[in-house]
Protein backbone atom coordinates (compact mmCIF):
# COMPACT_ATOMS: atom_id res chain seq x y z
CA UNK A 1 0.00 0.00 0.00
CA UNK A 2 1.41 3.37 -1.02
CA UNK A 3 1.15 6.09 1.59
CA UNK A 4 0.50 9.56 0.24
CA UNK A 5 1.47 12.73 2.06
CA UNK A 6 -1.19 15.41 2.45
CA UNK A 7 -0.28 18.93 1.37
CA UNK A 8 -0.21 20.03 5.01
CA UNK A 9 2.23 17.20 5.86
CA UNK A 10 4.39 18.21 2.90
CA UNK A 11 4.48 21.80 4.20
CA UNK A 12 5.51 20.54 7.66
CA UNK A 13 8.22 18.26 6.21
CA UNK A 14 9.55 21.04 3.98
CA UNK A 15 9.56 23.47 6.92
CA UNK A 16 11.70 21.05 8.91
CA UNK A 17 14.11 20.67 5.97
CA UNK A 18 14.27 24.46 5.44
CA UNK A 19 15.08 25.02 9.12
CA UNK A 20 17.89 22.45 8.98
CA UNK A 21 19.23 24.03 5.79
CA UNK A 22 19.12 27.52 7.33
CA UNK A 23 16.89 28.83 4.52
CA UNK A 24 15.39 31.86 6.23
CA UNK A 25 12.93 32.89 3.49
CA UNK A 26 11.53 29.37 3.06
CA UNK A 27 11.34 28.83 6.84
CA UNK A 28 9.52 32.14 7.40
CA UNK A 29 7.13 31.53 4.49
CA UNK A 30 6.27 27.94 5.43
CA UNK A 31 5.73 28.92 9.08
CA UNK A 32 3.35 31.65 7.95
CA UNK A 33 1.54 29.24 5.59
CA UNK A 34 1.14 26.57 8.28
CA UNK A 35 -0.13 29.18 10.74
CA UNK A 36 -2.74 30.26 8.17
CA UNK A 37 -3.74 26.61 7.64
CA UNK A 38 -4.02 25.97 11.39
CA UNK A 39 -6.04 29.18 11.87
CA UNK A 40 -8.41 28.01 9.13
CA UNK A 41 -8.74 24.61 10.83
CA UNK A 42 -9.90 26.15 14.10
CA UNK A 43 -12.05 28.87 12.51
CA UNK A 44 -15.79 28.42 12.85
CA UNK A 45 -17.77 26.57 15.47
CA UNK A 46 -15.54 23.49 15.67
CA UNK A 47 -12.09 22.57 14.48
CA UNK A 48 -11.66 20.32 11.48
CA UNK A 49 -8.99 18.71 9.34
CA UNK A 50 -8.53 20.61 6.07
CA UNK A 51 -8.55 18.73 2.79
CA UNK A 52 -5.79 19.39 0.26
CA UNK A 53 -8.26 21.55 -1.70
CA UNK A 54 -8.89 23.63 1.44
CA UNK A 55 -5.14 24.00 2.00
CA UNK A 56 -4.70 25.12 -1.63
CA UNK A 57 -7.41 27.76 -1.06
CA UNK A 58 -5.56 29.03 2.04
CA UNK A 59 -2.22 29.10 0.18
CA UNK A 60 -3.83 30.87 -2.79
CA UNK A 61 -5.18 33.54 -0.44
CA UNK A 62 -1.74 33.92 1.18
CA UNK A 63 -0.03 34.17 -2.23
CA UNK A 64 -2.49 36.89 -3.24
CA UNK A 65 -1.69 38.81 -0.04
CA UNK A 66 2.02 38.60 -0.91
CA UNK A 67 1.42 39.96 -4.45
CA UNK A 68 -0.70 42.83 -3.13
CA UNK A 69 1.83 43.67 -0.40
CA UNK A 70 4.71 43.55 -2.90
CA UNK A 71 2.83 45.96 -5.18
CA UNK A 72 2.05 48.29 -2.27
CA UNK A 73 5.65 48.29 -1.03
CA UNK A 74 6.92 48.78 -4.60
CA UNK A 75 4.58 51.75 -5.12
CA UNK A 76 5.82 53.24 -1.85
CA UNK A 77 9.43 52.91 -3.01
CA UNK A 78 10.23 50.27 -0.38
CA UNK A 79 11.95 47.84 -2.73
CA UNK A 80 13.54 45.64 -0.02
CA UNK A 81 10.15 44.84 1.54
CA UNK A 82 8.60 44.39 -1.92
CA UNK A 83 11.32 41.87 -2.82
CA UNK A 84 10.81 40.00 0.46
CA UNK A 85 7.09 39.67 -0.31
CA UNK A 86 7.86 38.47 -3.88
CA UNK A 87 10.31 35.89 -2.50
CA UNK A 88 7.65 34.56 -0.12
CA UNK A 89 5.16 34.49 -2.99
CA UNK A 90 7.55 32.37 -5.07
CA UNK A 91 7.86 29.82 -2.26
CA UNK A 92 4.05 29.61 -1.97
CA UNK A 93 3.65 29.18 -5.75
CA UNK A 94 5.61 25.90 -5.51
CA UNK A 95 2.71 24.40 -3.53
CA UNK A 96 -0.06 25.70 -5.78
CA UNK A 97 -1.36 24.16 -9.00
CA UNK A 98 0.09 25.67 -12.18
CA UNK A 99 -1.76 28.83 -13.14
CA UNK A 100 -4.01 28.73 -16.19
CA UNK A 101 -2.77 30.52 -19.28
CA UNK A 102 -4.96 33.17 -20.90
CA UNK A 103 -6.00 30.82 -23.73
CA UNK A 104 -7.02 28.05 -21.29
CA UNK A 105 -9.00 30.49 -19.16
CA UNK A 106 -10.72 31.96 -22.22
CA UNK A 107 -11.70 28.45 -23.37
CA UNK A 108 -13.03 27.44 -19.93
CA UNK A 109 -15.13 30.60 -19.70
CA UNK A 110 -16.46 30.12 -23.25
CA UNK A 111 -17.46 26.53 -22.38
CA UNK A 112 -19.23 27.69 -19.22
CA UNK A 113 -21.12 30.38 -21.15
CA UNK A 114 -22.34 27.88 -23.75
CA UNK A 115 -23.12 25.33 -21.01
CA UNK A 116 -25.31 27.81 -19.12
CA UNK A 117 -26.71 29.56 -22.18
CA UNK A 118 -25.86 32.82 -20.46
CA UNK A 119 -26.06 36.14 -22.29
CA UNK A 120 -25.34 39.68 -21.17
CA UNK A 121 -23.60 41.03 -18.08
CA UNK A 122 -26.49 40.08 -15.76
CA UNK A 123 -25.66 36.38 -16.23
CA UNK A 124 -22.19 36.83 -14.75
CA UNK A 125 -23.01 35.11 -11.43
CA UNK A 126 -24.50 32.13 -13.21
CA UNK A 127 -21.34 31.69 -15.34
CA UNK A 128 -19.01 32.25 -12.35
CA UNK A 129 -20.81 29.42 -10.49
CA UNK A 130 -19.91 27.02 -13.29
CA UNK A 131 -16.37 28.30 -13.96
CA UNK A 132 -15.08 28.62 -10.38
CA UNK A 133 -14.96 24.89 -9.54
CA UNK A 134 -13.13 24.24 -12.83
CA UNK A 135 -10.40 26.82 -12.20
CA UNK A 136 -10.11 26.34 -8.41
CA UNK A 137 -6.66 27.51 -7.33
CA UNK A 138 -5.41 27.81 -10.91
CA UNK A 139 -6.61 31.36 -11.61
CA UNK A 140 -7.35 34.33 -9.38
CA UNK A 141 -11.01 35.24 -8.94
CA UNK A 142 -10.51 38.76 -10.29
CA UNK A 143 -8.90 37.43 -13.45
CA UNK A 144 -11.72 34.92 -13.96
CA UNK A 145 -14.38 37.57 -13.36
CA UNK A 146 -12.73 39.95 -15.83
CA UNK A 147 -12.71 37.24 -18.52
CA UNK A 148 -16.36 36.28 -17.88
CA UNK A 149 -17.36 39.94 -18.07
CA UNK A 150 -15.35 40.47 -21.27
CA UNK A 151 -17.01 37.53 -23.00
CA UNK A 152 -20.54 38.34 -21.80
CA UNK A 153 -20.33 41.98 -22.90
CA UNK A 154 -19.10 41.23 -26.45
Q: Domains along the chain?
A: 7-94 (1.10.1510.10), 102-153 (1.10.10.410)
pLDDT value at residue 1: 42
Q: By the 8 A CB rule, do 40 and 116 touch?
A: no
Q: How far is CA 33 from CA 42, 44, 50, 61, in A?
A: 15, 19, 13, 10
pLDDT at residue 25 tops 70: yes
User: pLDDT digit string (tens) for 35-77?
Assistant: 999 999 998 888 888 888 888 889 988 998 999 999 999 999 9
pLDDT value at residue 3: 60
pLDDT at residue 135 tops 70: yes
Amino acid sequence: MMWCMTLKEKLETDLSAAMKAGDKVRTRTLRMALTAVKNEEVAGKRSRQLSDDDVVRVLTREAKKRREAAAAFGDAGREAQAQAERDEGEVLEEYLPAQLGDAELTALVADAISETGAAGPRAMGQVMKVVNPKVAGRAEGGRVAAEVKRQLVQ
